[in-house]
Amino acid sequence: MKLNRLLLLLMASFCGYAQPDDVGLKDKIAQMLLVGFRGTELTNDNPIYHAVKTLHIGGVILFDYDVPSKSRPRNIQSSAQLTKLIAGLQQLSPAPLWVAIDEEGGKVSRLKSTYGFPHTVSAKFQGMKDDTAITAFYAAQTAATLAALGVNLNFAPCVDIDVNPDCPIIGKLERSFSIDPDKVVKHAGIWIAEHTKQSVLTCPKHFPGHGSATHDTHAGSVDVTATWQEAELIPYRKLIADNAVRLIMTSHVFNAHLDTTYPATFSKAILTGLLREQLGFTGIILSDDLAMGAIARHYPLEEALEKAINAGVDVLCLSNNGDAYDPHIADKALNIIYRLVRTGKITPQRIDQSYQRILRIKNWKLPVEDTN
């Protein structure tokens, strides 16, 4: 079968040949989209079929529970079913497709034992044991499970510091390894290393720190100005210095110490100024889910996409698993961003920066180095 032009260009880019201008603007934008969908089987009438095959989106995200309908299943029923679904998606895609999941373990697990997957434990459990062998066991088990399924991107580990054990979305769910940033670095590093052995990418989160929050960004705006500590940056600083990190997920928290106007996902000061320029991160900045209440209940989609990209976000997570479900979210987002570029609200150069980072990390054995 003849490979289409996008695949050839992507392959050439992986070898260092293609330049951003060689690929159409819509194809570049599509690579920036990571989209959630409904369905445990791949059928040609499912909008995700079109999004992957025709639009050439960069990735998908999997869930076991559908929030808008408050029902299961969404994408996950069993190992055999999920393996078939993922293989079908990859076969549809003309370029390497990211298949992402939130598989931290414990209370944040999409691959539950009730579906036949291995039992997992929380980050807090691993941090309290503080035994590198125990952490390595669970990290390796998770990575091997994902690799066998065909999942190639895990939105883990959570490197938030357990500043507030009562934080409803971090501490209460036992997602933090420890209040000690060095322990967080140690155990997060093991998770990253074990996933790397299985060729599964990781994505530490939530920058610049969600562990001190008193509210949940899924529900609405969260201000950590009075509780955030600079120590919450330590895991990022050390993991970046160790060249261990290829993707980092943003947080939607507002932190006036770092930006007096915007939440982190929309903040150029935080994402470009702090994360890239001060901490030296040259990989992919991935937004936390733009369907979460902190964003979706306060910003129209067009404004959210414009602000996130201009702040420095490279990959936009559109879970389609918030208050409402839009089967055509990929088409809608792509066309909005295309229009924003054509009207001068986002520069073509900004799209090119993200596109080139995505190409580099998709062939993630290449060195992580910036093009700017």
Given the residues 27, 288, 289, 314, select the one marked as catalytic.
288
Contact 249, 287 (CB under 8 A): yes
Task: List the structure tokens of 164.
Answer: 């507030």
Backbone angles phi, psi at 158, to 5 degrees: -80, 120
**Helix or strand (DSSP H, E) at 179:** none
Q: CB atoms < 10 A from the CB of 284, how many? A: 24
Task: List the structure tokens of 265.
Answer: 């996902």
Give me the long-range contacts of 175-178 (CB less than 8 A, separation at least 24).
175/104, 175/106, 175/107, 175/108, 175/122, 175/123, 175/124, 176/123, 176/124, 176/127, 176/211, 177/123, 177/124, 177/126, 177/127, 178/124, 178/127, 178/128, 178/130
56 noted as active-site residue: no
Contact 229, 180 (CB under 8 A): no
Strand ranges inside the chain, DSSP E: 33-36, 59-61, 98-101, 103-105, 108-109, 153-154, 201-202, 247-249, 284-286, 316-318
195 noted as active-site residue: no
Given the residues 56, 206, 210, 218, select the one marked as catalytic.
218
Active site residues: 218, 288
